[in-house]
Every structure is written in structure tokens, then in C-alpha cells.
Amino acid sequence: MTRTGVANVIFVRAAVPASTRRRPPTPCAGFRRRPPVGPRVGPAEPRVPTWAADRLVLLLVLTTCVAALFACSGDPSTPVPPPPVPTSTPPSTPANTLLAQGMPAARVPKDCTLVAPAAEVDRIAGRRLGPSLQIVGVPEPAIGRTERLACYYGASGGVKKPVGAVELGLAGYATERAAAQRVRATIDAERARGAAVNEIRLGAEPAVLLVGPKERTLMLALDRATVVVTARHGVVDDDQATRVLTVLGQRASGALLA
């Protein structure tokens, strides 16, 4: 007690052993404190009602059952025929119809050496004409032609536009009428261009000699075939032109197949 009479109270803190003291927790290695989560921003995710999901499942089940019933109701042993393929038939002319039934027998050889070799043509023309060229044609149903062979002697211009000092052309047709019509059509076309038309005979067969501004042409129809012989002006003398064309025409006619 002091003199003032006030009691001084002394609090004595008991000493706590170090082994029993509480230590602050040590953070774990790799531990990161999560940031505070704030309120969700944006629209809430739509939730499918339970009744809608149930209906969807039921619909899928019903569809599967119906498909299974249809699959089982058919007869698997009976094949299903494929759908028909539409077809179209082009309009046919008499020549086309005959060609469709089968090609007639060939009348034209396939090689110019079987008609008139180049050396023989040079001898008949009385001069050397130069290189020769042959072209084997293809059928042309529009005019009834079934085959064609063109022989060029003294040829120039190449395969695309060949021109010969002397030319021999043989063609086969489906009918005799088609061959005769082709000859008449050529005569009419040449007459329209100003060519002179002269009727002559090739042996016992009637023929036509066309004299145009650039060439002379002998042509005739023999059954289902036609023969055309052309000589350019200046290749042979004018007074010998008809003789040369006639000899070559007889040679070409004799080469036709029976």
C-alpha cells in the first residue's frame, strides 16, 4: 500500500512455454488465394423444362418403333426394282432407218492404191502431179452416205483443207435413191455457181461433165455409189481434159466393190 491509500494492483502475466505457443498457419506450396467472387454478370443459362425433355425422349422412341415396324413388314427376299431410265428416240429419216437396221455391203475400197496408183494417174494425165494424199471418210446418215474415199494427186493444203491437181472421190450410200439425189444436188449447186452442165456417157452409164471457172468435174451414180473425178484447169490441156476425166472415171468405177 502507498501513502495515497490507493491500492496498486499489479497483474502478473504468467509465462507461457514456447512449445505451447500457437503459430500462424503456414500457406501451402502452390496455394493461391481465390479472388473474391462477385455477382454473376450476363443472362442466366436457359434451362430446359423437364416436361419438354420427356416429350422429346418419347417422340424419339415412337419414331424408332414405327421405323422398325415398316422395316419388318416388307419381304426382304423381294428386290426393289430400280426406277426406269427415261429414253428418247431421235426422229429418223429413211436413210437413218436403213442404217439402223444394218450397214449395207461396202462398195468403196479403203485405199487409193486400189483405185488408181499415183504413177498411173501421172501417166494418164501426161505429167508428174506430185505428192498424193488419201482421206477415208465417215458415214453421214443425214444424206444417207455410208462410206467415202477421197484421193488427191498433186496434193496441197494438208489434211484439213486438201486440194489436188486431180481428185478422185468414191462414196457409198444406203440406197440407190440417196446416191442419185446426191448427184442431182451437186449438179444444181454447181449450176447455181455458174458452171456449165454437159451430159455425156461413161461407157454404158450416163454421166455429167461440169465445167466451172477453176475446174472440170465428171460425176455419175452407179447403183448405191457415186464417182467424182475433178481436174484443175491447166493440169491437162483443154482438148485432152475430157479424155483424161473419162479414163480416170472408168478406172474409179471399176474399183467399186461388187
Which carries the bigger pLDDT value, residue 135 or residue 257?
A: 135
pLDDT band with cut points at 50, 70 and 90 for residue 202: very high
Domains located in the chain, CATH noted: 103-254 (3.40.1000)
Strand partners, 231: 166, 216
CB-side neighbour CA atoms (13 Å) of 110: 3
Instruction: Report the pLDDT averaged over residues 121-134.
Output: 97
Integer angstrom CA distances of residue 205 from 185, 245, 256 = 19, 14, 14
Question: CA torsion 117→123→129→135, rounded to 10°?
Answer: -20
Q: How far apart are CA 157 and CA 150, in angstroms?
A: 14
What was the pLDDT predicted at 67? 59
Instruction: Say if CB 209 and CB 200 are below 8 A apart.
Output: yes
Q: What is the DSSP letter of 42?
A: S
Residue 252 — φ and ψ, nearest 5°? Answer: -70, -40
Specify the range with the lowest mean pLDDT, choosing from 39-43, 92-96, 157-161.
92-96
pLDDT digit string, tens, across residues 2-20:
444 444 444 444 444 544 4
3 state SS of 94: helix
What b/e string do you get for 82-111 counting C-beta neighbours within 10 Å, with b at 16 or more?
eeeeeeeeeeeeebeebbeeeeeeebbbee
In this predicted model, what pLDDT tens digit does every residue of 57-68 receive, in sequence order? Answer: 666 666 665 555
Distance (Å, whole) CA 134 – CA 165 = 13
Q: Are 174 and 153 in contact (CB under 8 A)?
A: no
The answer to whether 170 and 111 are in contact (CB under 8 A) is no
pTM of the model: 0.61
